[in-house]
Amino acid sequence: MNFIRLEGSNHSSNPADACSTDNQQDFPRATNMGSSPAWEQVRLAAKLADLKEEHYRTVLTLSAMLELFVDKGLLTQEELDQKSATLDRQLEELISASLHPMG
């Protein structure tokens, strides 16, 4: 692990003075903290949150579009229900076939 020593009594405006190696405690660099398993989990959780937000916005947009199509008479609710059931059944068959290729 890389360490720097911060000099607490030095209040110089020169940034190089803040990294002195004299008479102080060792602190881990912030760049190394990002490589730990815990930070990896934090990053994965953040990515998941981003995906959930994106998924929510996509579903909201599709729902609004479908509702507008029904309101304008371009589709009926029954047509949407039938198409959804058909697509769901086809997807289930595809998943089942890929999980059980011999049967």
Residue by residue, DSSP assigns 59-86 as HHHHHHHHHHHHHTTSS-HHHHHHHHHH
Location of structure tokens 């890389």? 2
3-state secondary structure of 41: helix
Contact yes or no for 13/23 (Cβ under 8 A) = no
Tokens describing residue 24: 């102080």
For 61-79, the pLDDT digits (tens) are 999 999 999 999 999 999 9
Chain-centre distance of CA 2, in angstroms? 29
* Residues of the chain with confidence (pLDDT) below 50: 1-30
Q: What is the pLDDT of residue 62?
A: 96
Three-class secondary structure of residue 28 per DSSP: strand
DSSP state of 48: H
Quote the pTM value: 0.51
Check residue 71 and give its pLDDT. Answer: 97
The conformation of residue 19, written as its DSSP 8-state character, comes to G
